[in-house]
Amino acid sequence: MAAADPVERFRLSDQYQTLKSSVHRHLIAQIEDRKLDIYTWSAEKVERFVAEQVRRYVLEQRLPVNQRESEALIEDARNELLGFGPIQSLVDDDTVNDIVVNGPNNVFIERAGRLYSAPVRFNDDNHVIRVIQRILAPLGRRVDESTPMVDARLPDGSRVNAIIPPIALDGPCLSIRKFRKIPLTAEDLLKGGSITEQEIAYLRHRVENRANLIVVGGTGSGKTTFLNMLSSWIPPGERIVTVEDAAELRLRHNHVVRLETRPPNLEGQRAISARDLVRNALRMRPDRIIVGEVRGDEVLDMLQAMNTGHDGSMTTLHANNVRDAMHRIELLAGFAGYTGGELTLRGQIAAAIQLLVHVARLPSGQRRVLSITELRGIQGRELSMHDVFRYEPDVGGAAAPREAA
């Protein structure tokens, strides 16, 4: 992992990791000896205390560090005490979308859809696990050998996944998908070239007129972000119930009920599934139901909701294209215990879903609406689809949107 800046190179060195550990132990000793409750202090007071102690330690130990390296040491010491250690600066950076830790020496970030190596590292596996535990502790979750993987949500909505040895063979791994403080709007997507004005006008009209729709795409394609943008066009006054594994949707409506699944406890009991929540949502007098992502047996209940008066409902689905999305719905229905005929199921799908929006991340890292497709019933034994809009590369190699014929 190369770093051009001298301070960044210093931070990546084994010497610095050893020094940082020594400073951290010194701070802990000072706090314990003086019986200080720094967690009740203001941020400014903690900053002053850490800076004073670190500078004193550097002078007493006659450490060969310059001013910039000393400032880096103060920042990292503060993050070790109260933050998420080496990755705290990445968490605070609003330009970083994802943080991926593959063991102590390999940390990567995603910016604007591209993955980059980050100029930070951990001391060892135990250091990574300590940071993971610090992230999970306020959430009432834990990770250890008996439960070596965990999926959780931070208070700001960011998603956290951690997995440790013996399941992770190359050391503990951590991934954080950060949640935007301000959700993207249609104007933001338009400026970024992710959608056209014609597509926005069409989708807004269909949402306001209560079309049932599914946003389709792969991992990291921006499905949830796009679903959040679509939901902003739901007319005020409608009662909306959302169902999510990790609450990410930010609906700016007065009448929203947010439901979140619950994983099983340590005994493997008391789990609340998405299917349980969708069924319960049907009894809550919703005008629309929004499911963050359909990925299991809740697919049948979602189709039922769309077919029984909850027009305008929305969800997302992992699939490479809209045709694959329909096949995946059939597959999930089979897993959910559907025993009817294939043609009957396709009839239910055609009656429930009016619109499919395919979003993807392009090789450049840009996220883009690739197609907006209407589902128009069944022809023969197959679902009939019509592309209202498609996004295709032109003959010169540049990408250009065009309305489908």
**CA angle at 389 for the pair 194 and 112, rounded to the nearest 5°:** 15
Instruction: Find the helix packing angle between 298-307 and 342-352, rounded to 10°.
Output: 60
pLDDT at 108 over 50: yes
Rounded Cα gap, residues 96 and 85, in angstroms: 16
The reported pLDDT for the residue numbered 180 is 75
SS3 260: strand
Q: What is the pLDDT of residues 317-366, one digit of tens each?
A: 999 999 999 999 999 999 888 988 999 999 999 999 999 999 999 888 88
Token couple for 112: 């604007």
Residue 235: pLDDT over 70: yes
- Report the alpha-carbon distance of residue 294 to residue 358 in Å, rounded: 15
Cα dihedral sign, 229-139-256-373? positive
Q: Residues 376-402: pLDDT tens digits?
A: 999 988 999 999 999 976 544 444 555
Separation CA 175–CA 164 (nearest Å): 12
Is the model's pLDDT at 276 over the cut of 90?
Answer: yes
User: What letter would DSSP give residue 350?
Assistant: H
* Three-class secondary structure of residue 401 per DSSP: strand
| Residue labelled with tokens 């993955």 | 115
pLDDT of residue 102: 95
pLDDT of residue 4: 59
More confident position, 102 or 40: 102
- Sequence-separated (6 or more) residues with CB below 8 Å from residue 240: 231, 234, 251, 253, 255, 256, 257, 286, 287, 288, 289, 290
Residues 66-78, mean pLDDT to the nearest whole number: 87
**pLDDT for the residue 394:** 59
- The domains found in the chain, sorted by start residue, are 1-81 (no CATH), 83-179 (3.30.450.370), 186-403 (3.40.50.300)
Element (H, E) at 58: helix 43-61
Cα four-point dihedral sign 11, 13, 19, 23: positive
pLDDT of 91 above 70: yes
Question: Which amino acid, 19?
Answer: L
C-alpha–C-alpha distance, residues 292 and 273, integer Å = 13
Asked if the model's pLDDT at residue 405 lies above 90, the reply is: no
Tokens of 79: 């993050």
Average pLDDT over residues 147-151: 88
Q: Which residues touch 80 (CB under 8 Å, ≥6 apart)?
A: 20, 24, 27
| H/E stretch holding 319 | none
C-alpha 331/C-alpha 134 separation (Å) is 39
**pLDDT value, residue 219:** 85
Q: Which 8-state DSSP code applies to residue 262?
A: B
d(CA 97, CA 255): 29
> On the CB side of 183, how many CA atoms lie within 13 Å of its CA?
19
What three-state secondary structure class fits 265?
coil
